Structure 1
Amino acid sequence: MSDSIFSSPRIVNDLVYKTLIESTLAIPWSIDWGTKKFSYIGPQIEKVLGWKQDSWRTVEDWAMRMHENDRAWVVDFCVAQSISGVDHEADYRALTINGEYIWIRDVVHVVRKPNGEVDSLVGFMFDISERKKQEQELEILKKQLEEYSYQDGLTEIANRRFFEDSYQREWLNAQREQQPLTLMLLDIDYFKQYNDHNGHLLGDACLKQIAQILKKSVSRPRDLVARFGGEEFILILPDTTQASAIEVVERILQSIRTADICHSTSPLDQRLSVSLGVKTIIPTQKNDKMAFLKEVDQNLYLAKERGRNGYVIQDAEDVQHLNSY
């Protein structure tokens, strides 16, 4: 009987083909287009998903063993591509017999009749869970790298690069909407002396503390606190009038006084203080954002020149005000 079986080259070829197919990690399958029934699915399916080979009867079994968030679009996509006679592939989460989901990639070839009508679909399912896991890990790493590229490593607030991107966006928005935009540039008074006297560890701790005080002093989603460099910090306050800006400055100064950070080498006092340059503008096409930033920096310079421990703000009449504590 064995001799008679293997005497047929066609049968030998079919057996070899079946053995090869069923020894691969991929899961072969075929579906009759007219009946929408599986004409074949490889035994590997039970190892991958747990469902017995003979439980895959129709495309309904395939669809219902798919994550509900993937089902509609995958089915619609595959049907549309098949009707069009286009080979295709789809990634989706498939339900295992124990209730978990794994990622499957279905690669589909459309077989047509001589008259052009769809005859059947044949394809392979691949378990791509490990690949998806790696992709997700890479995506997380990418986001972390993006965060790191926009985050100051010490204070964990936005860095200068992020400030520059945000400033460009908020300037254009204020220009378009004709709304006020406020910038504040803050410098810790006599920080070099503080650092030299207390050491870099306490100096770093001081920078972190000031960063957190600034973050807590603003609350709106678009308000931004960034480290500008060294002991300088900068704030972007969109849609903020000069009067509102003064309230924020007063809140910052009060919070720093309340923190009562010792600065025994400060010529001003025995506690840490800061100086701020503040300016508000409703920008037009005639204004230049870098020139405006320079004016804010000039206000900071004036605040330090006039005794520090306070702020300089410029009103519409270009009159300088100094408030010291």
Structure 2
Amino acid sequence: LGLWDWDIANDTLTINERQWQMLGYIPEATPLKSTFWHSLIHPEDAPAVQATFLAHAKGLAAGYKLEHRMLHKEGHWLWVLSHAMVTERDTAGRATRMLGTHLDITERMQFQSELQQANAQLAQLSITDGLTGVGNRRYFDQCLQSEWARSARQQQPLALLMIDIDHFKRYNDHYGHQGGDACLREVAQILSTCLCRPGELLMRYGGEEFAILLLDTDAVGASVVAQRCLDRIRTAALPHVASLVSDCVSFSIGVASTIPFQNTEPEDLVAQADAALYQAKHQGRARYVCAPQVLTETL
């Protein structure tokens, strides 16, 4: 352990050999000034160090304990676990001496950071479609539930686009499954370019079907996004000679929008969008259809 003894009254700080070595310095017998010591504390950690010290010095906390960073002589930061206690006070109760220890916890903190990064990556993978790189069905379900609740609280519209690649089974039969996978990846990339706001979320719903969830968007705004998707896939002109609609890949899109109420469920919005998607296919595909009516509150 690095040991330090701070004579607060005379502002002199004495540290042991281990503390010197921890900071990368050759041990010296000369007492230090607190200004030098404070200069080694990471600027982001300094306020917490000061607040913790004052709380203990004023008798508001039984002890002083926290983790913070200190500057090594070679320029890198090391993490220390600092324990300390006021050992002497003057007649007015002011702290005049403080003893403390430092334990180098840099390796532990690095391990924790790497573990957090790994967990974050795993969490991201769990909501990402492995083929297309967009959100997966699990992410869709999570977003729909959370945004439905938010929209209900704020009484803001929530819209959903259900997008189906026309005659995709015929595409797979003609180009093979590897060709079908490549098509799905290209479609996902094209659809991602159709999103213009942070509140527009693209997910692969399953198979050849994608979903776009539009926050704070009514049917008119959702129709604009649907038309943009149709325009972009038409411009991309991905060959689909087996299609019964066009020589290129096309979409059928169902659009639904609502302001959620207490007596409605997220699945109702999906059902409305699915019904509209069915109508788009029934009317000849390569188009979008809005749900005939938005969900309304039952009185």
Task: Name the TM tier (shorter chain).
Answer: 0.7 to 0.9
Runs of 4+ in structure 1 off by over 4 angstroms are 115-119, 315-318
Q: Percent identity?
A: 34
Is residue 87 of structure 1 aligned with residue 66 of structure 2?
no
5 Å-filtered alignment, 1:79-158, equals 79-84=54-59, 86-111=62-87, 120-158=97-135
**Paired residue for 2:46?**
71
Name whichever of 140-149 and 46-55 sits farther off.
46-55
1:129-187, Cα deviation, whole Å (9 max, x unpaired):
22111111111112111211221122111112222222123223333333322111011
Contact 2:227 2:288 in 1 (8 A): no
- Give me the whole-angstrom Cα distance separating, in 1, the residues matched to 2:240 and 2:254: 22
Is residue 31 of structure 1 aligned with residue 6 of structure 2?
yes
- Give me the whole-angstrom Cα distance separating, in 1, the residues matched to 2:108 and 2:92: 36
Is residue 173 of structure 1 aligned with residue 150 of structure 2?
yes
- Give me the whole-angstrom Cα distance separating, in 2, the residues matched to 1:317 and 1:201: 39
- Give me the whole-angstrom Cα distance separating, in 2, the residues matched to 1:56 and 1:290: 71
Q: CA deviation at 1:210?
A: 1.1
Q: CA deviation at 1:234?
A: 0.6
| Secondary structure of residue in 2 paired with 1:271 | coil
**Paired residue for 2:278?**
301
Match of 1:261 among 224, 235, 238: 238
Is residue 50 of structure 1 aligned with residue 28 of structure 2?
no
1:104 maps to amino acid: V
- Give me the whole-angstrom Cα distance separating, in 2, the residues matched to 1:150 and 1:234: 14
**Where is the helix percentage greater, Structure 1 or Structure 2?**
1
Is residue 234 of structure 1 aligned with residue 208 of structure 2?
no
- Give me the whole-angstrom Cα distance separating, in 2, the residues matched to 1:284 and 1:304: 29
1:3-41, Cα deviation, whole Å (9 max, x unpaired):
xxxxxxxxxxxxxxxxxxxxxxx2122223443422x42
TM-score, normalised to structure 1, is 0.81
- Give me the whole-angstrom Cα distance separating, in 2, the residues matched to 1:175 and 1:316: 18
| Secondary structure of residue in 2 paired with 1:53 | coil
Match of 1:220 among 190, 197, 202: 197
Name whichever of 263-272 and 128-137 sits farther off.
263-272
1:207-235, Cα deviation, whole Å (9 max, x unpaired):
11111211111211111111111111111
Whose radius of gyration is greater, 1 or 2? Answer: 1
Contact 1:194 1:265 in 2 (8 A): yes
1:57 maps to amino acid: L
- Give me the whole-angstrom Cα distance separating, in 2, the residues matched to 1:144 and 1:74: 32
Structure 1 residues without counterparts, runs of 5 or longer: 1-25, 319-325
Name whichever of 145-154 and 193-202 sits farther off.
193-202
2:46 maps to amino acid: R
5 Å-filtered alignment, 1:201-216, equals 201-216=178-193
Q: CA deviation at 1:82?
A: 3.9
Contact 1:86 1:110 in 2 (8 A): no
1:69 maps to amino acid: E
| Secondary structure of residue in 1 paired with 2:44 | helix
- Give me the whole-angstrom Cα distance separating, in 2, the residues matched to 1:220 and 1:317: 23
Q: CA deviation at 1:119?
A: 6.3
Contact 1:263 1:270 in 2 (8 A): yes
CA RMSD, 1 decimal? 2.5
- Give me the whole-angstrom Cα distance separating, in 2, the residues matched to 1:76 and 1:239: 42
- Give me the whole-angstrom Cα distance separating, in 2, the residues matched to 1:52 and 1:89: 27
Count residues with an aligned counterpart. Answer: 292
Contact 1:50 1:96 in 2 (8 A): yes
Q: CA deviation at 1:261?
A: 0.9
Contact 2:272 2:291 in 1 (8 A): no
Contact 2:157 2:259 in 1 (8 A): yes
- Give me the whole-angstrom Cα distance separating, in 2, the residues matched to 1:121 and 1:94: 19
Contact 1:242 1:315 in 2 (8 A): no
Name whichever of 234-243 and 182-191 sits farther off.
234-243
TM-score, normalised to structure 2, is 0.87
- Give me the whole-angstrom Cα distance separating, in 2, the residues matched to 1:66 and 1:29: 15
